[in-house]
A and B are shown apart, each in its own frame.
Chain A
Amino acid sequence: MMSVVSETLTGDAASSVLEARRAHNEKLAAKSDKARAIWFPIALLLLLLALPALQVIGNFNYVLHLVLFTACYVTMASGWNILGGFTGYISLGHNVFFAIGGYFAGMILARYGISTILMAPFAGLLCAAVGYLIGRVTLKTRGPSFIISSLALVMIARILFDHWKFVGGANGVALPANDLSVEWAKLPYYYAFVVLAAFSVWLSYKIKHSKFGLGLRAISKDEIKAESAGIDTRTYKVLAFAISGALVGMAGAIWGEYLTYIRPNIFLIILVSVNMVLMCILGGKGTIAGPVIGAIMIIAFNELFVATLGASEINILATGLLMVIVLLFFPQGIVGTLAKHHKLPRILNWD
């Protein structure tokens, strides 16, 4: 078909039109490059990597724990975002991958003493494989049916892990703690999670700007159209499911060792998967910075209200209320809504 168009477009007039267009495109590309602040996430990452130096002057374990916890959720929310945000398939069952990753690496640690940080990439691969198989079945459904199928997945996994004697059933398995002194004990996990979070943000960015990402966006808008446009929707969806499962699984692997315990009601509670979804919705589904902002906000809300209201039920109520208010003013999430109104500050434009 190229020939058809180029034949029609012979002559100087046509080529000058194309020339002008190209100049225009380059200007637009330069403009979007200028509007994007890649330096900010990089600076943030460097700052976080340097943060443990604080341990030299005192005990900042609480700060480290908060950053680590946030980074864990950034990884999971970014992973979820690849399926839920880019592809438009809302999964409430992503904590299954959290559990698979956690149990896989945790059991290897318990039996052979190999650190979960080393096993995390393998846990990711395992979760990708499991995600691929599950995706082949559940991604045939769309919309509400898919959400329900993902919930069913959590229930099945919960029953399996609750009754699986080898992994300790409902009681779980205690994992050995590392023998570092108390100031430095968190550091391996801290760095693992910060690097993992940075990796998942980078991967999201890479995917969003690739052919694959364009295809996923097309699927989220109109799957039938995407299919007839020549996009292999089934493969794309399953691949997105596997990748997002892998990221969540890697986070789960390290989380188990950090808590020194693996138990179904750490991994397979609905709160974990709902948190991922809420973070993405609050920050902005389908954006790169959205899951990061969402994770920071939800964890900050939680900590703030636990600190001020105590760990009663009221803190949960207050977090929920604040989220409702935020979503009232930012219906597409903070990053999504600001971007739509062209008010997104440059430091939050990572797309």
Chain B
Amino acid sequence: MLEIKGLCKYFGGIKAVDDCNFGVERGSITALIGPNGAGKTTAFNCISRTAMPTKGSVWLDGERIDKLRPHQITQRGLSRTFQISRNLADMTVLENVICQSRIGGWRDLMKPAMSSDEIDKAMGILDFLGITRIAYEDGSNLSYGQKKLMDLAALLMSDPKIILLDEPAGGVNPTLLEEIVGHIRKLNDQGLTVLIVEHNMELIMRLSHRIVVMAQGRVIANGAPAEIRENPAVLDAYLGGVLEEAV
């Protein structure tokens, strides 16, 4: 569904992402892991065009998307969250979510900001994530975990085909973590494709169907969780530590 071919991103002489190739299958949960500085978030940024790739191409359903502008990519059905949750201050959770609802074209611009259909849809999503009670809270007054849930709600508002989650579990308490995992599973069961960057190895092993391992900007391994666990190159990249604990 999503194909990344020869993706490179250089910052001056630093090769943050260097000839990165991998694909995400429709309906799968694919994890992108790697030690700090491996280029995971940069790769994410290049895919969603928050950053401009230096070289290479990204394909979504056979369409090349790396030349499109970020909002066009979102309109094609690829939505992302940010590692440090970016939310719109002084706007309620509901407004934050409805911001992400799709707009048809010029004629829609002067339509009411929040139609009752959209409010119903947003409320349905918030209900699905169990956070309707914060719908009228200011987006900046939320706890870290609530912000992550709000991000997820906003993603769902844009009717995505594939979602890119950048560390959805970072800084989230264990109870909420289970909740988020449950939501991701449920969404995936209903056919949503997920690409996820995460440091919590135990969660990745449990959740994902395929794992792509990056180190120093390159993909060093790509396979099912069981294969990745045994892969000497991966163990080497992580210096053995984290993965063995997870096993």
A-to-B contact residues, CB < 8 Å: 1-9, 14, 17-18, 21-22, 25, 28, 206-207, 209-215, 217-218, 221-222, 224-234
Give every chain A residue within 8 A of B48 (Cβ-Cβ).
228
The residues in B between 84 and 111 inclusive whose CB is less than 8 angstroms from any CB of A are 86-91, 95, 98-100, 102-103, 108-111
A233 with B71, Cβ < 8 A, contacts A9-B127, A211-B113, A217-B88 known: yes
A166 vs B121: C-alpha distance when bound (angstroms): 59
Number of A-B contacts (CB under 8 A): 130
A3 with B190, Cβ < 8 A, contacts A210-B110, A221-B90, A222-B86 known: yes
Q: Top 3 nearest A-B pairs by Cβ distance?
A: A230-B74, A221-B88, A225-B86
Give every chain B residue within 8 A of A209 (Cβ-Cβ).
112-113
Cβ–Cβ contact B156 & A226, under 8 A: no
Give every chain A residue within 8 A of B88 (Cβ-Cβ).
217-218, 221-222, 225-226
Give every chain A residue within 8 A of B99 (Cβ-Cβ).
214-215, 218, 226, 229, 231
**Nearest Cβ in chain A — how far from B167, in angstroms?**
16
Give every chain B residue within 8 A of A206 (Cβ-Cβ).
110
Give every chain B residue within 8 A of A234 (Cβ-Cβ).
69
A224 vs B186: C-alpha distance when bound (angstroms): 29
**Nearest Cβ in chain B — how far from A231, in angstroms?**
6
> Looking at the complex, which one of B112, B158, B190 makes contact with A229 (CB distance below 8 Å)?
B158
A8 vs B125: C-alpha distance when bound (angstroms): 10
| B residues contacting the other copy or chain, number (CB 8 A) | 52
Cβ–Cβ contact A18 & B127, under 8 A: yes
- Does chain A have a CB within 8 A of B215? no
> Looking at the complex, which one of B87, B109, B116, B192 makes contact with A4 (CB distance below 8 Å)?
B192
**Nearest Cβ in chain A — how far from B70, in angstroms?**
4
Give every chain B residue within 8 A of A225 (Cβ-Cβ).
82, 86-88
A9 vs B128: C-alpha distance when bound (angstroms): 7
A7 vs B128: C-alpha distance when bound (angstroms): 10
A36 vs B113: C-alpha distance when bound (angstroms): 17
> Looking at the complex, which one of B95, B128, B158 makes contact with A5 (CB distance below 8 Å)?
B128
Give every chain A residue within 8 A of B91 (Cβ-Cβ).
217-218, 221
> Looking at the complex, which one of B79, B112, B114, B127 makes contact with A17 (CB distance below 8 Å)?
B127
Give every chain B residue within 8 A of A228 (Cβ-Cβ).
48, 50, 70-71, 74, 79-80, 82
> Looking at the complex, which one of A3, A28, A210, A232 makes contact with B69 (CB distance below 8 Å)?
A232
> Looking at the complex, which one of A5, A211, A221 makes contact with B110 (CB distance below 8 Å)?
A211
Give every chain B residue within 8 A of A221 (Cβ-Cβ).
88-91
- With a 10 A CB-CB cut-off, give which of A212, A214, A233 has the most chain B CB atoms: A214
> Looking at the complex, which one of B86, B98, B128, B136 makes contact with A28 (CB distance below 8 Å)?
B136
Cβ–Cβ contact A18 & B120, under 8 A: yes
Give every chain A residue within 8 A of B95 (Cβ-Cβ).
214, 217
A214 vs B181: C-alpha distance when bound (angstroms): 31
Cβ–Cβ contact A211 & B111, under 8 A: yes
